Structure formats: C-alpha cells, structure tokens
Structure 1
Amino acid sequence: MRTPRPGHVTSGPYAPSPAHREFTVVSADGSELHVEEHGRQDGPTVVLAHGWTCSTAFWAPVVRHLADDHRVIVYDQRGHGRSPAVGPGGYTTTALADDLCAVLEAAGSRAVVAGHSMGGMTIMAAAGRPQMRERAAAALLCNTGSSRLLHESTVAPLRAGRLRYRVQKAILGSSLPLGPVTPLGMRVLRYATMGPAAGPEQMEACARIVHACPRRVRASWARGVLAVLDLDADLAALDVPTAVIAGEKDRLTPPVHARRLAEALPNCTGLTELPGLGHMTPIEAPKTVADAVAALVRDHLTDRPAPDAPLPARSAEKEMS
C-alpha cells in the first residue's frame, strides 16, 4: 500500500518545526482540538487560529519568525489537521468561538490572538465572550471579513451579481475531492488564493495543506459559516487593540472587507494592505504578519507567564499520549 503524503511540506522554510509540546483541548460540546506549543516557554503568549481548509502547518513560517521571543500556541480548527471531525451541528461560528475560548483557557495566560480568514472570523465570533475579555490583550485580523463573503469574493471571473454569487457558493460549498497535488492544481489554487508573484515553494506549501482537508469538512464549513456569515454585530464587542491585514490581490476576501473592519472596529490600530499579495499572506509574507503580531505584543501585552505555569482550573486539557 502506498503511504499517503503528509498534509504539509516536510522541508524548507514552509515546513512546520517540531512542537516542544502537543496536547488536546476539549471544547464546550466535547469536540477535541489538537494544540501545539512552540517557542519560548517564558515568552509572551501568542495564539494563532488558522483559516478554512488549513491546519497548524499553515502558520509554520510565521511561527518560525516568532519562536525566538514568544510562546506560540497553534491549534487545528475542528475537522482540520489532527482535530477530529464533528457532526453537522458543529460547523458554526458559535462552535468556532467555543473552540478559541477553550484554547485561550488552556494557554493559561493573557495573549495576543491572531486569526487568518476563518480564524479571523473565529476571533470576531468570540469577541463578547468572558474568556476573550480576560485573556486577549490584542488581536490581528488577517485576510478576513465579517459578512457578504460570497457577494464580494471574486474567485469566479464574472460580473458582480446573482450569477457570480451562485457560482461561488457552488464552488466553495462543493464536496468534490481535490485530488493529488499537481502543477495544474497548484496553478488553480494560486489563481484563487494567492498573488501572482507567489513562488513554487509557497504554492506547494498551500496546496499540500488545502488538499489534505477532508472534503466533507471543507464543504460543511463553507456551507455552515462562509455562505451565511454575518458577524457585523459582533465587531462592537471586539474592543481590544486590533490590527487588520489585507492582500491587495485577495480574491476570497477582497480588501473591501478589511476596510470595513477597520472602520467598524472600536479600537483599530491600523490597516495594512499588502501590494500584489493574495489571500494567503501568512505564507506569502510571513515576516510581515509575524512583525504585526510582535508589534501588538510589544505595545499591548505586558505580563509574561512563568515557565510551566499551571493551567487554570476551568481548562479542559488532556496530554496526548
């Protein structure tokens, strides 16, 4: 039997570094989340939430930039990576918020939280939760939006209107298998998700991660969150200092979303639009994203956890065997 290829590249600048600790966190509905800890155990804590069809591996180059000075927590959203899939009722923004809050509790200290795409939606969905108010010192929203995703996405090369909306809904919500990673598949993925200057290593890194996402999980999140997203009312509760990053060539969440977020957020620290880049800026420009996270840590996170700080009593964590 042929051994399946791992869901990420295994060498080079986009390959994940070994975590010094891996564990499982249990969310409010019993769903289990795979969590990894990287970097300095005595450093300020950063929690990174990946987007739709991705995994902890997506953050690998950003983690590499942050690890020398920060304690970096990454986790697989439910159904992605090494977090088990859930039932149809579990693919909601409420579930995303529950999961982030469980991870923040397990982190055991205040943190800067950063989310890419659906990870940014996760942060917005959790904005009013007590755990966010207690644990989140600042936030970064990267290549994301709060509503009207399918109306304003430009993945389908059609004029804005009902036809483009329906085509994009069908594409994103499809459960058809993506198949193996091929040169053609990487070119298609670059068109949909990356800027025109994305290199072969970046394209393969993204393709391996996206193609590894189970097709039913991919379709369930698209239908349960992306197609019906409306988090506009939650933005007022996200009152921690929040930075916003957009890619100029982002087809999935065009910069219009980031501009609306910057206007609506109560405490936006700035909007950065990256020329020529697409939706996958943590891989297309990892140092820029890492620098934005580090700036939020420097400016807004002053307490540092002691090494091996005990987890809070409310956390539901179990060590992986």
Structure 2
Amino acid sequence: MSRDAQRTVGPRVPEPVRRVTALSADGATLHAEVFGPEGAPTVVLVHGWTCSIAFWNEQIRDLARDHRVIAYDQRGHGGSPHVPGGYTPDTLADDLEAVLRTTLAPGERAVLVGHSMGGMTIMAASRRPAVREHAAAVVLASTGFTDLPRNSTVIVMPKGRVHTFLTRQILTSRLPLGPVTPVTKAALRYATMGPGTSRERIDTCARIVHACPTKARHAWGAMMSTLDLTANVRAMNVPTAVIAGHADRLTPMVNARGLVATLPNCVGLLELTGVGHMSPVEAPEAVNDRIRDITTEYLPSKEAAA
C-alpha cells in the first residue's frame, strides 16, 4: 500500500511538512514523516507488527495541531523496504536510533510512543545512546517484553507446551493473508480488537494489516516468538506510562502488569475497558489524552524552555 493510499485509510491526516529517509546501521532505509509546527513539543510514534504509519492516523490528525509528530515505517512495513535478514531486537533498536538521529537535533528531547512491537522497539533500545539523549518520557501501549506466546489468549486452551507451540505457529506463519474479506475481518477482530469495535475501525485495521508483506510479517513474528527484553526494561529509567486494554488477546493485561512491576520509573497504567490490542485505533481519544498528559508533564514547549 502506497503512502498516498494509506492516507485514505481511517481518518484523513494532514500532509507531512517533511519526508525523511533514515539509514540504519546495516544499510537498511527507513521511511519517516514529520508533521506539525516547528518549535512544538515533539512526539515520536513507533508502530507495531504488520502495521505502518497509517496506523497512527488518529494520533497524527489530533496531535499535529500543536505537537511536532514524527512517525516512521518499521523495516519491511509501509515505505520501508524488506531486506534479507536482520530481524532481531538489536535491529529494532538500530532502526529507532537511526530515525532519532535523522529527525531530531542534537540534545532535542521527545516523548517516544510505541504500540505493540513499537513498544518492544523502544524497550530494545532503552540502553542506546540516542534514546538516552532524546527520550524525555515513554508511552508503551498494548505491548509486552517476555513470554509473548505463553501469555497470549488468542488460542483458547489451557496454558502449556501445546498452547505455546500453536501460538508460535501463528506468529511465524508464512501463509499470505490474502484480500480483505468479511471472514478475514472477523478473524482479525477476534484476535486484535474488543467486541464493541466499530466496523469502520475494523476495516481500517484490516486494510493496514493485510498490506504488510508476508516476509516481514513472518520475520518479525519469529523474532517476537522468543523475545525476552527483561534486562532492557529494568534499564529504562525514563518516566514510562503504560496503556493496556482488558480485551487484548495478543498482549493481555498480564503483560502490562508485568511492565508496571518491572519498570524502574513507571508513571501509571491506563486500563481501557472493552479495548483489544489495537488501542490507538480503538480508543484514540483516551490514548491521545494520555500522550498529551505525558508531553505536558515531561516535555515543556520549546518556546517556554527558551
């Protein structure tokens, strides 16, 4: 799906003031877009597995009115090409560092917001120099840091080796998703969204997810199937807010509670009743309000700072 096509998915968003290509440590290129006024508090949005910049359309439309918003496509997603190999937690960290170095001035502070694998990206990069330099605070939405297959409730059966094995098969599947149909939308809604999600929002997520290339979906799913970022989470001294939905099957509430217990500087858990895994799309007002609260508290406007 081209970026022009992505702009028609979900709410309309403003044109970016700047498009940027960041070069990662292994030479991979990453497509990034910058929205909003210069001099405003800066928010960096990091999307999750099988998504793209378009996933953040609700956040970009709202926040870019009075924030500088930077969003990028993870490698293999959206406008960032798939490259052979290099799908590891360290690669996630390399890519985030590259985007921060490319889009932010030296010493410039920002709030980093990650959803799902985007949250894992920030956690993976917690000890990286660019994150320590630029992150004033972090928001982690619908994510986890260890035991993802075991904690998942997509497959309804007693926890154990069989449950974990089957969940890993879903994460690492090489089967193409095919076109968006009523059946595939129903499956996606079951796995990733709460029961009250509107048809429009289900359709938005389906179009984004189905646009993800199979190779990237498999490669990143395999990475997440064995992920353990415990040491990285323990090293996250930056103020970190957590958001989680009670109807999340991919990263259930146990993951959020684990984060709250492990983060050295957690500044609160926002629990969203009836919301599944796609919290920024399902509950944009609540997510946007939390991002605004965090930027107000930890990232004063550049004019005020001057």
Question: What TM-score do you get using the length of structure 2 for normalisation?
Answer: 0.94
Percent identity for Structure 1 against Structure 2 = 53
2:61, 2:301 → 1: CA distance? 22
Query: Could you say which residue in structure 2 is the equivalent of 1:310?
Result: none
Name the SS for the 2:302 alignment partner.
coil
Relative to structure 1, the CA distance from residue 305 to residue 28 in structure 2 (aligned partners, 3 Å threshold; closer, same or farther) is farther
Q: 1:59 aligns with which of 41, 56, 59?
A: 56
The separation in 1 between residues aligned to 2:5 and 2:16, in whole angstroms, is: 16
- Secondary structure at 2:159's aligned position in 1? coil
- Partner of residue 41, structure 1: 38
Structure 2 segments unaligned to the other structure (5+ residues):
none
Is the CA contact (8 Å cut-off) linking 2:52 and 2:78 kept in structure 1? Answer: yes
Cα deviation digits, residues 148-184 of structure 1 (max 9, x gap): 0001101112221111111111112111111111111
CA distance in 1, matches of 2:87, 2:63: 30
Could you tell me which of 16, 38, 49 is aligned with 1:19? 16
Which residue does 2:118 correspond to in 1? Answer: 119
The corresponding residue for 1:97 is 93
Q: Paired residue for 1:289?
A: 287
Which residue in the other structure is 2:205 paired with?
206
Does the aligned pair in 2 maintain the 1:9–1:208 contact within 8 Å? no
CA pair 295-143 structure 1, distance change in 2 beyond 3 A: same
Question: How far off is 1:20 after superposition?
Answer: 2.0
Distance 1:214 1:12, change over 3 A: closer
Residue of structure 1 in register with 2:79 after alignment = 82
Partner residue, 1:230: 228
1:241 is aligned, of 229, 236, 239, to 239
**Structure 1's 177 and 11: CA in aligned 2 closer, same or farther, altered over 3 A?**
closer
CA distance in 1, matches of 2:20, 2:180: 29
Structure 1 residues 5 and 125 mapped into 2: Cα distance closer, same or farther (>3 Å)?
Answer: closer
* Equivalent in the alignment of 1:263: 261
Conserved in 2, the CA contact under 8 Å of 1:8 and 1:205?
A: no
The alpha carbon displacement at 1:302 in A equals 2.6
Query: Aligned partners of 1:117, 1:12: CA distance in 2, in Å?
Result: 19
Distance 1:17 1:129 in 2: 32
* Cα distance change, pair 138–5 in 1 and its aligned pair in 2 (3 A): closer
Q: Corresponding residue for 1:220?
A: 219
CA 1:4/1:26 → structure 2, altered by over 3 Å: closer, same or farther? Answer: closer
Superposed displacement of residue 294, structure 1: 1.1
Contact between 2:9 and 2:54, CA under 8 Å: does it hold in 1?
no
SS at match of 1:299: helix
Q: Is the 8 A contact 2:92 2:124 kept in 1?
A: yes
After superposition, residues 155-234 of structure 1 pair within 5 angstroms as 155-223=154-222, 225-234=223-232
Query: In the alignment, what sits opposite 2:275?
Result: 277
Q: Partners in 2 of 1:296 and 1:68 — Cα distance?
A: 17
CA–CA distance in 2 between the matches of 1:186 and 1:35? 28
CA separation of 1:4 and 1:65: change in aligned 2, threshold 3 A = closer
State the 1:39 CA deviation.
Answer: 1.5
Return the offset for 1:292. Answer: 1.1
Unaligned runs of 5+ in 1: 307-321
**Contact 2:10 2:204 (C-alpha < 8 Å) held by counterparts:** no
Rate the CA distance shift 1:199–1:9 in 2: closer, same or farther, 3 A. farther
One-letter identity of the residue aligned with 1:95? T
Q: Answer whether contact 1:282 1:289 (CA < 8 A) is retained.
A: yes
Deviations 1:119-171 (A, max 9, x none): 00001011011111110000000000110000110111222111111111111
Matches of 1:205 and 1:141, distance apart in 2: 22
Query: SS of the counterpart of 2:154?
Result: coil
Per-residue deviation, residues 221-276 of structure 1 (Å, max 9, x unmatched):
111x2111000011122111100000101000001000010111111100011000
Q: CA deviation at 1:29?
A: 1.2
Kept in 2: contact 1:247–1:273 (CA 8 A): yes
The separation in 2 between residues aligned to 1:5 and 1:37, in whole angstroms, is 13
Equivalents in 1 of 2:292, 2:23: separation in Å? 28
Equivalent residue for 1:314? none
After the TM superposition, which of the residue ranges 30-39 and 152-161 deviates more from structure 2? 152-161
C-alpha separation in 2, matches of 1:111 and 1:238: 15
